[in-house]
Structure 1
Amino acid sequence: MEAVEDELRNFIKVMITVSLSLTYCYFICSRIPKGKFRLVSVLPVISIFAFFPLILSSFFLQFYFAPCIGWLANFKLLLFAFGKDDNISINPSIPLLDFILVTIFPIKIKQTKAFQNNTNKESLLSNTGKCVFKLDLGFFINALLWSFMVQMYVIYKEHVSSMNPIVVHFLYSSRMMFGIQIQFALIAALAKLFISQELEPQFNNPHLSTSLGNFWSKRWNLMVSNLLKSTIHEPTRSLFIPVLGRRWAIHPAILATYVVSGLMHELMHFYVGRTWPTWEVTWFFIIHGVCVTIEVETKKKASKNGWKLHPIISTPLTVGFVMATGIWLCYAELIHWGADAREIEEYVALVDFVKHRLRIA
């Protein structure tokens, strides 16, 4: 019980400090002309945000919340420094609370015409004046599948003396993929209670992906994909266009994007394991980046000849490749650190803590 209380206190302290830091950015940094001077003004905040996840000891917070602060918020602040983020930079009338929530969490306000013209917000308020808390069918399906994978994982570990690593990695990888989607959906639903605006979709049926490019850019974790596109892909492509031309500049941009994504995922793993990275996750993204560049050229040539794989073939190949490489490279390190067992133990401890508090109340 004490461990849960201590971690909750640490989390509250982190959130208060993060909110105060972003309040400084909202009132002070936003008054500084965009560019290198505003960048200098936000660099202390970026440094603090990179350090904060090390204060947390819970696997759940390290894996699911730390990337929001150490990665996403910092990348958004970089865009904010140069006036490139269309939520917190281009719209000067955004309220402080909206600014903080959009910067911290993997959400993005939907770009309606009213929003772009800085007119009235697109309200989500009901007739009673309360904001709608809404979770779609996909959330409940993912929650059901996540729960099933957790139960299967626990049963397998309890009843099988010699566990097959492939089975363990498959069950854990599957549950993490569903868990990430659940987490993002809950954050978006809660954020709507305060932001009172429509938010961009975070996922788009990744199980229906017809290619790796389709999976990464249009279906899986769209908040991170859009952020990487603005911070890495577009600047890199602009840099290489004078050298390679518009036709070929896309390839170093793709590779740079996947390399940076891999490095940031290594940082996430460092927050969890606190050990020097093995670079397996980086190789996962490098492999996918190389495959996407090959895919881009193959699709161009195939389209000229009128060739196209039917989704019945391309979808299983795409999802199968993502799962196979993910099981092989993405989650092995976390399992080696015992993160799979830590997560379940924390769920049990949290449930016991809530039950204890309810009995006291």
Structure 2
Amino acid sequence: MELLRDSIPMVSLASSAAALYARVASAFLRPGLPRLAALLPVVALLAAAPLAFTSSAMLRGTSAFFLAWLGAFKVVLLAAGLGPLAVDGLPVLSFLFTALLPVKLRRGGGCPGAAAKSVSLVSCAAKVAAIATILHLYESKIQLLHRYIRLAMYGIHIYCFLDLLLPCIAAAGSALGMELEPPFDRPYLASSLRDFWGRRWNLMVSAILRPSVYDPVRARAGKAAGVVATFLISGLMHEAMVYYMTLRLPTGEMTAFFLLHGVCCVAEEWCARRWVARRWPPPPRPLGSLLVMAVAAGSSFWLFFPPICREGSEEMLLEEWAAVAAFFQDAGRKLRRAPVRFTD
């Protein structure tokens, strides 16, 4: 790990080499235990690689999401002959892109540029403005705000950051000739918790958990068990993500958060069936969206954010984001001062 320490290029090269090995090994071994045994070193490397970033919690957390969670799950699915990496004839570049980044190739071709069309310039500008405003507050006034206002800002920051980062990755894939599915679908318009988690929020995670957890559990124990098991695994992986960021042992709060939402989704579906059976009119969609946001925010304040924000972790993350803001401000000042030369 000394060679990889705090080195994005070296971690990228090591992860790419491991992914290429997984591709070659899977070409020679049939799905099953022999392939799984051959790919376990890849899973171990992807799980360990984020720890190489010893000086940055943000880099550890982001790379852990990319590699230790999504990447490792994709490799395990590949061992079973499933998942996005098990597509016949997948080009090497597409294989690497899919293995190491939170993207999902669009099957069946789709409409050219469909992913790009789903990204609104106005929406992107609004998210950039929101992040810029929040980063400015991080530098000076954040500790003066009420705790719940700070947590709400963190939630907005996480959403805006992911909804800018992941489409940028998808755009890079599109520029390389890959047709990728969008990672988000306006989660603030979700009409139910099932709609929020299953069809709108962080669709890359849903696409991985569905074949790896939900489908096998549902086939053996039913739909409700599949939903709860999926949220349980998601909670455990979020515990791991918090560990990567804070380097502190899990508290169980993340698991409780996602189990709560899993149970709520099961109860919500049961209530929805009863509602339809009684032929009651559906509630107004804006009311449903408001209730979803209220439940998500309230449970996040209670269980999601405390493990990230306690014992100095909040200050550490704020310092990193303040450094990011200072970097961009300094770069902007240099660009404004740079002379513009015109040539005939």
TM-score tier by shorter-chain length is: 0.7 to 0.9
Q: Provide the C-alpha distance between the structure 2 equivalents of 1:152 and 1:357, rounded to a whole number of angstroms.
A: 22
CA contact (8 A) 1:205 1:219 kept: yes
TM-score by length of 2: 0.87
Letter in 1 for 2:141: Y
SS at match of 2:106: coil
User: Where does the alignment leave 5 or more consecutive residues of structure 1 unmatched?
Assistant: 1-5, 115-121, 125-131, 241-248
CA contact (8 A) 2:138 2:318 kept: no
Q: Provide the C-alpha distance between the structure 2 equivalents of 1:323 and 1:176, rounded to a whole number of angstroms.
A: 13
* Deviation for aligned residue 1:139: 2.7
* Deviation for aligned residue 1:293: 0.8
* Deviation for aligned residue 1:60: 2.3
CA contact (8 A) 2:135 2:322 kept: no
* Deviation for aligned residue 1:223: 0.9
Structure 1 residues 83, 55: closer, same or farther in 2, change over 3 A? same
Deviations 1:102-132 (A, max 9, x none): 1111111111259xxxxxxx877xxxxxxx9
Residue of structure 2 equivalent to 1:151: 136
Residue of structure 1 equivalent to 2:35: 38
Deviations 1:11-32 (A, max 9, x none): 1111000011111111222221
SS at match of 2:279: coil
2:199 alignment partner, one of 187, 211, 218: 218
Match status 1:18 vs 2:15: yes
1:71 alignment partner, one of 45, 69, 72: 69
Superposed counterparts of 1:142-181, under 5 Å: 142-157=127-142, 160=144, 163-181=145-163
Deviations 1:274-310 (A, max 9, x none): 1111111111101101111100111111111122221
| Higher deviation after alignment, 11-20 or 23-32 | 23-32
* Deviation for aligned residue 1:43: 0.6
Letter in 2 for 1:273: T
TM-score by length of 1: 0.83
Deviations 1:304-351 (A, max 9, x none): 112222112111011111122112221222222134313313404644
Match status 1:341 vs 2:318: yes
Match status 1:266 vs 2:239: yes
CA contact (8 A) 1:153 1:172 kept: no
Identical positions, percent: 25
Superposed counterparts of 1:303-342, under 5 Å: 303-307=276-280, 308-336=282-310, 337=313, 338-342=315-319
Match status 1:53 vs 2:30: no
Letter in 1 for 2:269: V
Residue of structure 1 equivalent to 2:170: 188
Q: Provide the C-alpha distance between the structure 1 equivalents of 2:7 and 2:168, rounded to a whole number of angstroms.
A: 22
Pairwise CA RMSD: 2.7
Structure 1 residues 297, 40: closer, same or farther in 2, change over 3 A? same
Runs of 4 or more, structure 1, over 3 Å off, are: 6-9, 132-136, 152-155, 348-359
Deviations 1:156-207 (A, max 9, x none): 337x3xx42222212222211211211111111122222x022111111100
CA contact (8 A) 1:39 1:81 kept: yes
Residue of structure 1 equivalent to 2:256: 283
CA contact (8 A) 2:6 2:52 kept: no
Residue of structure 1 equivalent to 2:79: 81
1:95 alignment partner, one of 78, 88, 91: 91
Letter in 2 for 1:31: F
Q: Provide the C-alpha distance between the structure 1 equivalents of 2:4 and 2:151, rounded to a whole number of angstroms.
A: 28
Q: Provide the C-alpha distance between the structure 1 equivalents of 2:204 and 2:44, rounded to a whole number of angstroms.
A: 22
CA contact (8 A) 1:60 1:346 kept: no
Match status 1:141 vs 2:114: no
Structure 1 residues 167, 92: closer, same or farther in 2, change over 3 A? same
* Deviation for aligned residue 1:150: 2.7
Structure 1 residues 261, 234: closer, same or farther in 2, change over 3 A? same
| Higher deviation after alignment, 99-108 or 176-185 | 176-185
CA contact (8 A) 1:210 1:314 kept: yes
Structure 1 residues 7, 59: closer, same or farther in 2, change over 3 A? farther
Residue of structure 2 equivalent to 1:255: 228
Letter in 1 for 2:251: T
